[in-house]
Amino acid sequence: MNKFIRSQILSDWAWEDALRHGFHLETDDATPTELLRRLVEEGMKQELEEVEAIASNPETPTFENTIVAFTRCGELLSRATTVMYNLFSAETCEALDELVNELSPVLTAHSNAIMLNEALFHRVKAVSELPNDELTTEDKVLLEKTLAGFRRSGAALSEKDKETYRQLTTELSQEVLLFSQRLLKETNRFTLHITDRARLSGLTELQLKSAAETAEEKGLEGWVFTLQAPSYVPFMQYCEDRTLREELYRAYATRCTHGDDCDNLETVRKIVNLRQQIALLLGYDTFASYALERRMAEKPENVHRFLEELLEAYLPVGRADVQAVEEQAQKSQGADFRLQPWDYAFFARQLKEERFHFDPDSLRPYFELSAVIRGVFGLATRLYGITFHEADMPVYHPDVKAYRVEDADGSFLGVLFADFFPREGKKGGAWMTDYRGEHADIPSSQPVNNANSVRPVVSLTTNFSKPTADTPSLLTFSEVETLLHEFGHTLHGLFAMSHYEALSGTNVFWDFVELPSQFMENFSTEPEFLATFARHYQTGEPLPASYIDALRAARQFQAGYQCLRQLSFGFLDMAFYDRETPLTDDVTEFERRAMEKTALLPCIPEACMAVSFGHIMSGGYAAGYYSYKWAEVLDADAFSLFRERGVFDAATAAAFRDCILSKGGTEHPSVLFQRFRGRKPSIDALLKRDGIK
């Protein structure tokens, strides 16, 4: 692990330079957490020195000696904290948890000391008031973002209010950490242990084999099911025992609500109220107003209007979707049967099989993970000419693979780490992040290329179905879509061509960041793409054309229900964060009211989504969950151009790379999208794709 940490943090930081800075790091006997601590502490020290040099510079403030100097300082700390938090998500342990808990308030105080530095803020303001005709578009965006960053971090507050801001942000950072740690602990500690094979009727042999291996890992007989997605989702879809489905569902839906050391109910209230207090202190009406100021949507009323527009379009279809599933259940359960939440996935899967004549789980043998990876990498080669080569370099876990990525001309494009399987020290879900963002230390008047820029190091992380003793990892179709989604984020990071890391890759407005990822999902049902990799892992037989036809036909299956589910999360998010008064309500009751207009199924009284809703509590999507649907509008409209010209059209792919993927946040996203599409985005493509229009 130490080798990995050093390789990521100090790969371009010569040890001689470190020593010249007075940095003496003994690593031979240091634990990984001790190494991280020393790097973070040294990084804070160096950044404060660098900031002080900028703030006390006797020269007249200029864009170069103030804005550029500021955006390029703190490199060691940035790398150290990036590695620390990435490992905290992907490979944590008790010692790392303790280190993050200890350093989080220290890092918040450190950030506040910089952003509340009055002399530094005055220099930034002075630069913003200068004529900027000689600045490039990217320079102007960086200047605007830097000035806004100081204002939004309390730099313009009175000394008294600055102290309040310090207290509130420190407390918020601690509560956000607690939320994540409790959720991971609660998810990991529940198991459904079954010893009677008869109770598991309906589950496939592959699912049973995986559950048996989980039991063996825990020293138990029989089968063990967990709340991790690769275990939970297929169980809810296939297990015929309704009482077991209910037991697992209740465990999942009531995580972190039991009044014990993992209870997040009060933590949710604290996080919501702290964010509101910070927003009010900074002069905003609500936290949503604060957050949306730097988003495409711009203000809360636009988000509410967008959500209501989708609700009006999808609600009738969503109700029809639920009615169809209930009628499916009544065929076998009787006319009086009423769907409960733990029934929906089971009978929806039955209906899908009946309507499209295939069992989704029967696709797994055609989606062997290594073949899917080759297919996804091959898609990027076909569209953009880039190639992936497995590399021998330090990684943080044996499951992780490293790839050297080369551009079409053979030049070095970046490094990709791929981490696919669940572990107890790894949070659930799937995500892309970076260990090093792309940037170029050259004059902004010079164009950036692979040769004159520092190339990125990105990581793609999932929680896919693990291989068993005699079966490789076989993915569900949904997992194939997830891989394409996260790979879209990965390409956004790898293709970055910016002068400044703060504007590079995925450093874009939050409601634009999902466009590249959701765009890639469109390829999941393209026959030409599937033909490149979807073969039976034992026989080599291609995925039958009838299955591909069924997949394409099923794209609109339950589209109304799925959209309403996403909208329910969006309405809940806005209910929490577009409020002018503190949240004093019971969190569970408040949630039920917020999601009432989208509710299509009965809700058990003790269920609570918010306490496990990491996206909006600890994951950066506060007042931003609508972004997924917002980006769906963009991705459907963008892909419609590929439909017009050919889904593998090289010229269209090159335009998408040049206009969207490589530009990062160097221009306003509306400008970038219109440059690619030739017009403003339209909702029509999404409605057509979902069969609504």
Confidence (pLDDT) at 20: 44
Span 183-204, average pLDDT: 96
Gap between the terminal Cα atoms of the chain: 53
Confidence (pLDDT) at 29: 73
Do 496 and 664 form a contact (C-beta atoms < 8 A)? yes
Residue 280 has pLDDT above 60, yes or no: yes
Parallel, antiparallel or unpaired: strands 412-419 and 457-461: parallel
As given in the structure block, the two tokens for residue 311 are 């609700």
Mean of pLDDT over the chain: 95
Confidence (pLDDT) at 483: 98
Residue 422 has pLDDT above 60, yes or no: yes
Which alpha helices (DSSP H) does 413-476 contain, by range? none
Residue 46 has pLDDT above 70, yes or no: yes
Confidence (pLDDT) at 218: 94
Residue 686 has pLDDT above 60, yes or no: yes
| Phi, psi (deg, nearest 5) at residue 400 | -80, 135
Span 676-689, average pLDDT: 92
Distance of alpha carbon 412 from alpha carbon 456, whole angstroms: 10
Confidence (pLDDT) at 565: 97
Annotated catalytic sites, by residue?
Answer: 486
Residue 128 has pLDDT above 90, yes or no: yes
Kindly list the structural domains of the chain, giving each domain's residue range(s) and its CATH number in brackets, ordered by start. Answer: 2-156 (1.10.1370.40), 190-253 (no CATH), 365-508+522-542 (1.10.1370.40)
pLDDT in tens, 294-350: 999 999 999 999 999 999 999 999 999 999 999 999 999 999 999 999 999 999 999
Residue 523 has pLDDT above 80, yes or no: yes
Span 177-205, average pLDDT: 96
Residue 269 has pLDDT above 60, yes or no: yes
Distance of alpha carbon 588 from alpha carbon 328, whole angstroms: 31
Confidence (pLDDT) at 27: 54
pLDDT in tens, 612-671: 999 999 988 999 999 999 999 999 999 999 999 999 999 999 999 999 999 999 999 999
Confidence (pLDDT) at 26: 52
Q: Nearest to residue 601, comparing CAs of 347, 334, 308?
A: 347
Which is higher by pLDDT, 18 or 376? 376
Confidence class for position 11, pLDDT limits 50, 70, 90: low
Confidence class for position 2, pLDDT limits 50, 70, 90: confident
Parallel, antiparallel or unpaired: strands 387-390 and 223-225: unpaired
Give the residues across from 194 on adjacent strands.
223
